[in-house]
Amino acid sequence: MNILKPAFVLVTLVIIWQLIIILSDVPPYILPPPFSVIEATVAHADIILVHATITFIEMVVGLVIGTLLGSSSALVLSYYQPARQWLMPILVISQAIPVFALAPILVLWLGYGMISKIAMAVLIIYFPVTAAFFDGLKNTNLGYLDLAHTMGASKSSTLAHIRVPAALPAFASGLRVATAMAPIGAIVGEWVGSSEGLGYLMLHANGRMQIDVMFAALLILALMAIILYYTVDAGLRRLLFWSPETKLNQL
């Protein structure tokens, strides 16, 4: 993989960051310089690691559960025609209420621990996965379905061998969006009420004017989100080795 370009972008961003500080003379309690953020990261590595692990688990578990729920909903929706009338309104309503507004209620019901944050992440991830996968399952090439029909395929066998694989590219784009959103669920949940996690650490450091620690937590959060995204992306590319889109992206 070409690591040079992302590294170049990163270095450029750090230089711009440093330049802003030099040129605007902004005080370090508003924007700390890159070097002191790295220093804070190293100095508080043990605490950051503990909180980062919590947030990472929330993100990953939320992503897994949200994806499983989302894809099973899409399968049910496409397999049982009547389910659409009942499930679609629920889906739409669940999206009409902003998930962030639900955060305090989730913390109230599910407690200060990880469960409420995982629930937040699941709620955010569920919809894009369901919508994208269902859309893909609905739009199977009609010719494939004709072929399966003349071959004497059952409904479930057509779903398993034709409609699901054909819908995978759509599922993949939904899952990419969901992966990018997973950290939001976890962090917002932690802001609303928690005693651990990077979101909690940021609020805590903010209250004590440890701005460099805040930025250190943010740095680690960004790193985790990037690693998660590229891991999922690499997995999807392997799954979709046959898709023209995959080849196009590799160019």
Partner 1 sequence: MKPDQNFSISITADRLAFGSVLLFEHLDFTLKKNEWTCLLGPSGVGKTTLLRIVADLVPNIKNVIAKCSDNKPLNGRTSYMAQDDLLLPWLSVLDNVLLGYKLRSKQADRSKALNLLQMVGLSSNIDDLPAKLSGGMRQRVALVRTIMENRPVVLMDEPFSSLDAITRVRMQDIAADLLGDRTVLLITHDPMEALRLGDRIHILSGRPVKFITPIIPEGTRPRSITDTQLLKEQASLLTRLSNASTLDLG
Binding residues for partner 1, per CB under 8 A?
Answer: 141, 143-144, 146-154, 157-158, 161-162, 165-166, 168, 242-244
Distance from C-alpha of 200 to C-alpha of 190, rounded to nearest angstrom: 6
Least distance from partner 1 to the Cβ atom of residue 130, Å = 22
Closest CB to partner 1 among residues 169, 197? 169
Write the CB contacts of 122 (distance below 8 Å, at least 6 apart in sequence).
62, 65, 66, 69, 185
Structure tokens at 32: 């700390």
Closest CB to partner 1 among residues 91, 167? 167
Least distance from partner 1 to the Cβ atom of residue 160, Å = 9
Is residue 229 within 8 A of residue 63, CB to CB? The reply is: no
Least distance from partner 1 to the Cβ atom of residue 146, Å = 5
Amino acid, res. 129: V
Closest CB to partner 1 among residues 49, 146? 146
Strand residue runs (E) in the chain? none
Least distance from partner 1 to the Cβ atom of residue 204, Å = 49
Tokens 């889906």 found at: 91
User: Residue 140, Cβ neighbours under 10 Å: how many?
Assistant: 19
Closest CB to partner 1 among residues 137, 198? 137
